[in-house]
C-alpha cells in the first residue's frame, strides 16, 4: 500500500491505496463519492469521466496513484455553493437530458470540459466531443440541447421531436 494525496472538489484528501487501485475506486470507496459511475469498466462508456487538473479523463482508466498532487473534480463538485444545481446540471434537468441517469455524471463532466475549451460549440462539435460518452436512454438529442442551452445558445428543434 502507498499513500496518495490529492485535492477533490477543492478539499485535500489522502488515503492508502494499492498500485492497482483505480482512481474511480478511490473516489467511490474511501471517499464515498459515488456520483461518479462505473458503467463498462473498459473505458468505452464515459460514465466515470472526472476532471484531473482541468482535463476530462476516464477515472476507470487511471490509477489513483497517478493523481498524486492533482486537482480532481467530480460531479459532486458541479453544484453551486448553496447546493443548487450548476448551470449544466440545470440545463440537463430543463431539457430532459437524462432518463435513467446512469451516464449523466460523465455527460455533465464531459460537457463542462467541452465548454471550458469551446464556450459556444456547434451541435456537430457537441456530438463529436461526446463520442466517448454512451447513453442508452435518450438518443442524445436532449443531451445536445441541454449543452447548447448551458452554453447560452438558442436551442433549435432537433430531429426526432
- H or E stretch including 13? strand 11-17
Burial (Cβ within 10 Å: 0-12, 13-18, ≥19) of residue 44: middle
Contact string (CB under 8 A) for other proteins, positions 20-59, x = contact: x-x------------------xxxx-x--x-----xxxx-
Q: Which stretch binds other proteins (CB under 8 A): 61-69, 80-88, 142-150, 151-159?
A: 61-69
Can you tell me which residue has the cell 477543492? 10
CB of 58 to other proteins, least distance (A): 5
Sequence-distant (6+) residues with CB within 8 A of 58 are 43, 46, 48, 49, 132
Q: Which stretch binds other proteins (CB under 8 A): 93-101, 109-117, 141-149, 153-161?
A: 109-117
Closest by CA to 31, choosing from 47, 15, 20, 55, is 15
CB of 31 to other proteins, least distance (A): 19
**Residue 85 lies near other proteins (rule: CB under 8 A):** no
**Residue 113 lies near other proteins (rule: CB under 8 A):** yes
Give the cell for residue 54: 482541468
**Residue 90 lies near other proteins (rule: CB under 8 A):** no
CB of 84 to other proteins, least distance (A): 27
CB of 55 to other proteins, least distance (A): 4
- For residues 73 and 114, give the distance between their C-alpha atoms in angstroms, rounded to a whole number: 15
**C-alpha 35: how far from its chain's center?**
9
Residues within the interface to other proteins (CB under 8 A): 2, 18-20, 22, 41-44, 46, 49, 55-58, 60-63, 65-66, 68, 110, 113-114, 129, 131-133
Amino acid at each position: 500500500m502507498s499513500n496518495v494525496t490529492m485535492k477533490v472538489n477543492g478539499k485535500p484528501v489522502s488515503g492508502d491505496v494499492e498500485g492497482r487501485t483505480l482512481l474511480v475506486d478511490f473516489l467511490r470507496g474511501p471517499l464515498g463519492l459515488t456520483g461518479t459511475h462505473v458503467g463498462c469498466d473498459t473505458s468505452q462508456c464515459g460514465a466515470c469521466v472526472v476532471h484531473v487538473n482541468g482535463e476530462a479523463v476516464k477515472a476507470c482508466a487511471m490509477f489513483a496513484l497517478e493523481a498524486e498532487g492533482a486537482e480532481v473534480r467530480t460531479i459532486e463538485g458541479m453544484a453551486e455553493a448553496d447546493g443548487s444545481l450548476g448551470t449544466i446540471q440545470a440545463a440537463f434537468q430543463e431539457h430532459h437530458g437524462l432518463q435513467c441517469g446512469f451516464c449523466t455524471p460523465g455527460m455533465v463532466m464531459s460537457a463542462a470540459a467541452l465548454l471550458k475549451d469551446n464556450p459556444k460549440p456547434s451541435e456537430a462539435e457537441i456530438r463529436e466531443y461526446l463520442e466517448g460518452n454512451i447513453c442508452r436512454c435518450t438518443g442524445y438529442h436532449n443531451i445536445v440541447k441541454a449543452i447548447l442551452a448551458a452554453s447560452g445558445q438558442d436551442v433549435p428543434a432537433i430531429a426526432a421531436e
